Structure 1
Amino acid sequence: MKFKNNKDNKISIRLTDNEMNLLETKASLCGLNKSAFTRHTILHSKPPIHKFDKAMVVQISRIGSNLGQVAKYVNKNESIDLIALKHIIEISNSINSLLDKDKKC
């Protein structure tokens, strides 16, 4: 006896003409309709894993070290002078540069 698996939930997505053609082609090659192909793809695929950029991790580590040195200097002198402020601005610029680079990826 075959059990009917009722699918009560529905999602909807918008595709360009090219994306729709690609979906139809891939589904057809698998012998599935678009819904079955999409369902199978969603349920059986692994989510993408973020790959860390080693160079970026090293740069962030250096920035953290620099920030620690600035904090030690400021705590020792109990004030932020021009030298400490200059280093804080450099650190801020380094962080912003890394964030901009990450956004492009």
Structure 2
Amino acid sequence: MNNQKPSKRLREISIRLTDDELQRLHQRKTDATLAGWMRNLCLGATPIKQADPTLVRALGRIGSNLNQIAKHANTHNQLDQNVLTEISAIREILTDLIEKNLQGED
């Protein structure tokens, strides 16, 4: 077991940015602080993109619809054409949401 305390950060670097560059960095950061995000990014940590709240709500609605479809299928022990159509529509919506999110679109 390692009981050593982590070293204090005593070294500092500075960079010059335009207002636009600084704003873009703040928009892209995935840590609470810009310094922490930049340190992790530069030292090899894999940044995790923050989930888009709109996407999270949309996925929640889709999950609710899927639960309703599953309940219908389990209750009636069958999948009629309406259920299959709904599943197909949900698949298309999910594919579109995922593609837009990966491309960084809003």
Q: What is the TM-score with the length of structure 2 in the denominator?
A: 0.54
Moved over 3 A (4+): none
Q: Which residue of the other structure, out of 36, 39, 46, is the alignment partner of 1:45?
A: 39
> Structure 2 unaligned runs (5+)?
1-14, 16-37, 42-46
CA distance in 2: counterparts of 1:62 and 1:73, whole angstroms:
17
> 3-state DSSP class of the match of 1:46?
helix
> Structure 1 unaligned runs (5+)?
1-25, 27-43
- Per-residue CA distance 1:1-59 (angstroms, 9 max, x = gap): xxxxxxxxxxxxxxxxxxxxxxxxx7xxxxxxxxxxxxxxxxx8123342110000000
> 3-state DSSP class of the match of 2:51?
coil
1:90 aligns with 2:89: yes
Greater fraction of residues in helix: 1
Say how many residue pairs are matched. 63
CA RMSD, 1 decimal: 1.7
Query: Highest Rg: 1 or 2?
Result: 1
